[in-house]
Homo-oligomer: A and B are copies of this chain.
Amino acid sequence: MGFSLATTEDTGQMATRQHLLEAAGQVFAEVGFRAATVREICERAGANIAAVNYHFGDKEQLYRAVLQETYQAAIKKYPADYGLRANATAEERLRAFVHSLLLRIFSEGPSARHGKLMAREMMEPTGALDAIVREDIRPMSALLVSIVSELLGAEADDATKRLCANSVVSQALFYHHCRPVVVRIHPDLKFDRAGIERLTEHITRFSLAAITNLATKPRTGRAAKK
């Protein structure tokens, strides 16, 4: 193996393959699997048209490789316990969960691309969705349910726990999935660092208020208030 140069900058053995992954991540996230063209991907990667088929077999296998690579990047950069101390309370863990989710989705670079690809997968699943749900989403869901059930109390039933967990993640995903509509209706909403802090604050407060309120009066017929 000739690692002739110390730099992994270029001309390395896997250079073209990595460039293809990077370029494909960009293009797939921008326009989706179907609208993405291998010509565009290869052009951005500085590679020949035939490079995709040579290195990955076909366009779909390249897509699956991108999905896996961007997931690794996202979960490495923004784990679900992002910035959390050891013995954190359930409130703190809920806030960290929401915060890391928003950061993962709205950040720039490869880690954010996974969020866009996931959103497209949810809209029209390719064959890659099953593996993603099994290895990625399900553990996340279980973590959130455990946080929610600690907030709700032990006497809450499973259905309620899962519905509340859904209500939490839905608020965060909304700004991502419906972004084109949101920015038209609320032009002052920003998704920079400060904007994400504000969103984290609202979603956490809203959810905590709901869950703790539901915990105190678990099973009244309708939403009774004092």
Q: Which A positions have Cβ atoms within 8 angstroms of B?
A: 31-32, 34-35, 91, 119-125, 129-130, 133, 137-138, 141, 160, 162-164, 166-167, 169-171, 173-175, 177-182, 184-186, 197-199, 201-214, 221-223, 225
Contact = CB atoms under 8 A, between A and B. Distances in A.
A31 B35 CA distance: 13
Contacts of A164: 206
A206 B210 contact: yes
23 contacts: A31-B124, A32-B123, A34-B35, A122-B177, A122-B179, A122-B180, A123-B177, A133-B181, A160-B202, A162-B186, A163-B206, A167-B202, A170-B171, A170-B173, A170-B174, A173-B174, A201-B222, A201-B223, A205-B221, A208-B223, A209-B210, A209-B214, A213-B213
A168 to B, nearest CB: 9
> Interface of chain A, helix or strand or loop or mixed?
helix
A91 B223 contact: yes
Contacts of A171: 166-167, 170-171
Given A122-B179, A166-B174, A177-B177, A212 B184 contact: no
Contacts of A223: 91, 197-198, 201, 204-205, 208-209
A206 to B, nearest CB: 5
A129 B225 CA distance: 39
Contacts of A213: 209-210, 212-213
Nearest to A163: B202
A156 to B, nearest CB: 12
